[in-house]
Amino acid sequence: MSMVNLLAGDVGGTTTRLGLFESTASRPRPIAVREFATLDFPDLRSMIAAFLEAAPRADLSNATACFGVAGPVAGDAASLTNTPWPRMETGAIARDFALSRVHLLNDLEAMAYAVPVLESAEVHVLQAGRPAADGNVAIIAAGTGLGESFLHRVNGRDVAIATEGGHADFAPRTERDIALLRHVVARYGRAQVEDVISGRGLLDIHRAIHAEPCQATIDPDAAGASAAISAAALAGRCSGCVEALDIFVEAYGAEAGNFALRTLATGGVFVGGGIAPKILPALTTGVFMRAFRAKAPFEALLDAVPVKVILHSTPGLLGAANFCSHT
């Protein structure tokens, strides 16, 4: 029977990852990890049951569980913002699986708890900066939506603070941003930050700027269109796709800089989510960092902020397990 004392989950709008971990002195050690399509299951309980049935036999009677969820957490309950699942409650999960304790965190709050245990090979440095040892650390992650959180230093320890910053208003900076704003408002009635900086946001950028037919013949309403646009842009197969990705990267960098100022993230900014590692060549051209720093009169402050892309494949899951191991 496996040595297990942690059950962790990263519950997303598109994909959910569950894992069994053993707590260690450095960081939680994974024993079994599995990925699921979220909408293949009617709720979290049925997904956990399927995972445990296929996982190595383990005694969970004294285990602690933590789930990062893509939505707001209120007390001991949470709901997914972009997925029609029923509300998740810690008490019900604990009873159903005989767990000693269950915690629910916002998904970006969970990701934040991974940052202190990431290794150097698990990040790509966009800006080395000059980190303040006791400074706050911001995390921004575009995927199905856009999430933002930060680690706040409290009495020498890091405490993750969740936000719903992705649902704040999109702030255009350039004439082409203003044209994009008009397109998004016409389509949705309001322009949220994640209506631009997310997988579906890239689709709307593509729709907004393609006055001519897409040279890569990409239909933005087709499955996998966001990834196809990125691939066409990185390969230079369509000038419109190149411009769409350029607008996306610039907006992403600008919002990362905004969030760094809002949180005074002198300890660093970490860019997570599923999109960033896939478009890393576009993030390293300078467009992202120029938009990040263009915040007069605070360019010098932002020039000192380390900026890193998270390359670890499951930081939300790792962070949820790391939170468990310290509670």
pLDDT tens-digit map of 292-301: 999 999 999 9
Q: How far apart are CA 242 and CA 307, in angstroms?
A: 24
Task: Judge whether 196 and 205 are in contact, CB under 8 Å.
Answer: yes
pLDDT tens-digit map of 110-124: 999 999 999 999 999
Is it the case that residue 3 has pLDDT exceeding 60? no
DSSP 8-class letter at 313 = S
Strand 88-89 relative to strand 77-78, pairing: antiparallel
Q: Mean pLDDT lowest for which of 162-171, 251-260, 288-297?
A: 162-171
Task: Judge whether 321 and 19 are in contact, CB under 8 Å.
Answer: yes
Q: How far apart are CA 314 and CA 36, in angstroms?
A: 13
Provide mean pLDDT across the span 311-318. Answer: 96
pLDDT tens-digit map of 49-64: 999 998 877 777 779 9
DSSP 8-class letter at 112 = H
Name residue, tokens 């607008």: 247
Top-tier CATH class for 120-311: alpha beta
pLDDT for 45 equals 95
My answer on whether omega of the bond before 297 falls inside 30° of 0, hence cis, is yes
Vertex 225: Cα angle to 224 and 230 (nearest 5):
105
- The CATH homologous superfamily to which domain 6-113+314-325 belongs is ATPase, nucleotide binding domain (3.30.420.40)
pLDDT for 150 equals 96
Provide mean pLDDT across the span 82-87. Answer: 89
Is it the case that residue 1 has pLDDT exceeding 50? no
User: What pLDDT band is residue 279 in, cutting at 50, 70 and 90?
Assistant: very high
pLDDT tens-digit map of 179-205: 999 999 999 999 999 999 999 999 999
Is it the case that residue 232 has pLDDT exceeding 80? yes
Instruction: State the chain's mean pLDDT as an integer.
Output: 94
| Model pTM score | 0.93
- Domain residue spans of the chain: 6-113+314-325, 120-311
